[in-house]
Every structure is written in C-alpha cells, then in structure tokens.
Structure 1
C-alpha cells in the first residue's frame, strides 16, 4: 500500500516541478515588464504600467508585433493544409518511400534553427529567385519550421483511425470527398486544431530562422526584442513579452473553445 501510494505522489511531484519550470520564466517576464525602474532588472524595483504604455506607443514594437502576427497567421494556415495532407498520405500510403518522406518532413525539428536559417538564406541568394530578405521568403521559412508539428499531431490521430467508417459512408452513397469531410475530418479535427496551435506559437516566437531572413524594415517581435535587449536593455522588451504571452494564451483558449463547440453541436 505504501509503495502504491508513493508512485502517484512521485508523479504529482514531478508534474508540479515541471509546471514550475515552465511557469517561472513566464512569471519573471511579467514582473520584469511591470518594473518601475529604468532598466531591466529582477526582482523589479517596483510595479508600474510605465513600460506597458511605452510598448503601446512604440512604433517599432507595434509594427514588429503586427508583422509577427501576420506571418504566424499566414504560415499557420499554409502549414495546417500542407501538414494535414502530408499526414493523411503518410499514414495511408503503402509505399516504401513513405518512411523516408516522414523523416524528411520531420527534419526541421531535428536541425538547429541557425543551420536551417543559414541554409535557406544561402539557397535564396545562390539561386537568385528573389526571396532573400522578403516577406514571402520569411513565410516559407516559417512554414518549413511549423509544418512538422501539424504532421505529428494529425498523424497521431490517424494511426488509430478506423477506415471502415469512411468506407461505410461511401457505401451509403457519399462521394470520397464527402465521406472524408463528414467522417475523417470530424474525427481528426481536434488533432488539426492542436497542430494549428503549435504551429502558431512556434511561428510567432520563431527567432533563429527569422534572424537570417528578416531585414531592418521587416522585423518580427522576437527580433525587435533582441535588438532592444542588446542596445537599450530597458523593460520595453519584457512588456512586449507580456503581450506575446497574452496572445498565445488567447489563441489557445479560443481554439479549444471552438473545438468544444463543434463537438457540442456536432459541427
């Protein structure tokens, strides 16, 4: 009995420790953004909304926030479509090359971001396709980075999927597309939503690839925060981090609510 009760306690302790490791940096960023001092210090000298106001009135940070949001939104939409299609192909294909393709699609997760960013920049420059230091080139880089997260989550949902349900819908007169839309897509919908959340978060906070593909006129929020920390070291960067955290939390909550509504109303 003592051994059985000790196991759940150990799991609880490890879970709480892991949660603390994840939340403590967020807590530090929030307190640093509310610092009343002139420099980024922790613990803060006092609490104030001074640097929140500085962020909201900063054209550099607001522009970078908008660029990050737009790039994350576009790259997430593209990654969701490509990743879902790739996951369906990889799980249903009987070809020997499917395992090779799966490893190829997952390569951006294994490769260091610096290596991937440098490789993309060299490829853009040497091929002369005009994508170096451009918005489309940056979006392509973000799609390459975020697509594996969608593939991984959707593949996990499709592994245990019973294809006889889809075949039953087709036997009742549904077209292949209708059977996929009404049966398969509903079942893997939560996995697609989870992959979408991962893709958006990764894209919004992407730094390494963006560092090689961005320009001074095309700064994302992580790059703007890095520049501010390097040359000014004031709490405006931490205040920007507060809004980045808020956006991630909001997007996660909204997506989970939409998934729950679809389940409730059978949409």
Structure 2
C-alpha cells in the first residue's frame, strides 16, 4: 500500500487532527443585563466565602476553632503535619482517590463509548441509570450500599475494596458526562478511515479516537479524583477505626476536640483540589474543549 500524506507510519492510519473535528462557534457579543452580572458576582462570593473561612480558620493562632481568627499563625498547620491520625487519613484519601480515578476513568470511558455509538431501544433509560448516583442523596446511597454488603454477606462491609466500589459509583457519572461531550464532536469517519487502511479496532481507537477525546477523559478523571477525595457520605457508613479517610477524620476531630487542626487539614484538601483544577485546565485546555474563547 502506498504511503498517504499525514498517515501513521505504523499502520498507515491517518493521524488525528482535533481541530478538524471540533466545532468552532462564532463569538456573539451582547450586552449582559446588570442584574445578571450582580447575580454572577454574588454566586462567586458565595462559593468562595467558605474556602476563605476554612483557610483563615486553619491559620488561627487561638486554641479553638473560631472565626474571625484571633491571629494568623502556622501553629495548627504544623499540628496537622505532626498528627499521625490526620496525616495517615490524608494519605489514605489520596490512595483511594487515585484507585477510584483509574477505575472510574476506564469504566466511564467504556460506558460513554457504548451509549454514544450504539443505538438501541431504551438507551435513554440506561443513560439515566448510569447517572442515577448523582441524583440520589449521598446518605441514602451510602446506607443502601452498607445494607447491601451486610445482607448479601459478600465480605465488603467496612472494607477498603467496599469503600472503593462505593466511591466508583458516584464518580463514574462524571467521566461518562465529560467523555460523552467529547464524543459528540467526534467524526467517526476518521476512525473508519484508519480501519480501512488496516488498523485494528484497538489500534484505531488508540491512534485516532483517544487523542481527540483525551480532553474529556482527562477532565473526567480529575473530577473523579476530586469527588472521591472529598467523599463523606459513603465513607461515613463504610469507614472503620483502621480505614478512616480524611473527611471522616476531620469530622471526628471536630466532634471531640474542636481544634483548628481540622481546618488546617481542610487547607491541605483545598490546596489539592485547586491544584487538580489547575492541572485540568492546563492539560485539557477546557476553554478550547468547550468551544469558548476569551478576548
């Protein structure tokens, strides 16, 4: 077979060019009513205010968790770093979130491909079923999962694998949503062209489809990591004294001590979330992925 310009040297498949398959919507400038601007500013303040309160409370120099702080100090930040319980819980949450991210990214991507490409009766119902964990209250889902583990006697109640499964249930929908959005703009003809040039299904997916939908996959994986790291409801029912993620450790600390150490732990959790969001924006170019341009 003769070489084709822009073809992959291994299989002869054309290289994925994301710019050729993404939709560029024209920018329409319009006057935004003042009330919308005020509402947006108020929403931003409401979302940012709890973060500011937690950070300032974690830097409080007093003996108790109060706001406004009596003064600024790194006393309780150092206390968190030297606390064996909180430090262990922080590392455990990182481990759980990383494992959940890998599993959710794999399952969510596969489910998104199936729901997007395969047309069959009841597809909308199946999509709603996959997204159901987002609609159920977390406490209801956590209690139901715990009762299921106990009644079926599968040996997952209050175990690390059981907690991971619970976190996967609530994080997979995020991956399905972001990957489905990426597949919406995908031109299947590119993959068909690769298959016609001799590439197998797996090779065509890896060389053509995956590079194009990678922004959605990366965004979904980081969302899954963040949601799992801060998951409280399911962890509350499945945690044990030996398996205590950071949200549960902070809750226990506030119940018995009410020291700013818990807020200091929250500072580290917020820092991780902010870092993850910056990484998401950097790796996936969310503005371009969503078709949004800023002047």
The answer to whether the superposition gives a TM-score over 0.5 is: yes
**Which of 74, 80, 90 pairs up with 1:65?**
90
* 1:35 corresponds to: 60
The superposition leaves residues 33-88 of structure 1 with CA deviations (integer Å, 9 ceiling, x where unpaired) of 00000111100000000000100000110011011110011011100000000000
| Residue 121 of structure 2: aligned partner | 96
- After superposition, residues 212-251 of structure 1 pair within 5 angstroms as 212-251=237-276
Change over 3 Å in CA distance of 1:172–1:11 after alignment to 2: farther
Relative to structure 1, is the Cα distance of residues 78 and 5 closer, same or farther in structure 2, using a 3 angstrom cutoff?
closer
Shift of 1:173: 2.4
Partner Cα distance (2:138, 2:283) in 1: 32
Query: Matches of 1:18 and 1:167 in 2, distance apart?
Result: 45
Computed over aligned residues only, the root mean square deviation of the Cα atoms, in angstroms, reads 1.7
Q: Secondary structure of 2:49's partner?
A: helix
* Partner of residue 164, structure 1: 189
Q: How big is each residue's C-alpha offset from its partner over 1:87-114, in whole Å with a ceiling of 9 and x where there is no partner?
A: 0000111111322211111110011111
Q: Kindly state the Cα deviation for residue 255 of structure 1 after the two structures are TM-superposed.
A: 4.0
Corresponding residue for 1:25? 50
Gaps of 5+ in 1: none
Give the number of the structure whose residues are more often helix, by fraction.
1
Q: Match of 2:225?
A: 200
Q: Report which stretch shifted further, 187-196 or 6-15.
A: 6-15
- 1:122-161 pair list within 5 angstroms: 122-161=147-186
- Aligned equivalents of 1:12, 1:198: Cα separation in 2: 27
Runs (5+) with no aligned partner, structure 2: 1-28, 289-295
The equivalent residue for 1:50 is 75
Contact 2:218 2:283 in 1 (8 A): no
**Would the aligned equivalents of 2:55 and 2:267 in 1 still touch at CA under 8 Å?**
yes
State how far apart, in whole Å, the 1-side matches of 2:236 and 2:134 are. 17
Instruction: State the TM-score, normalized to the length of structure 1.
Output: 0.92
Number of matched residues?
258
TM-score for both structures, normalised by structure 2: 0.83
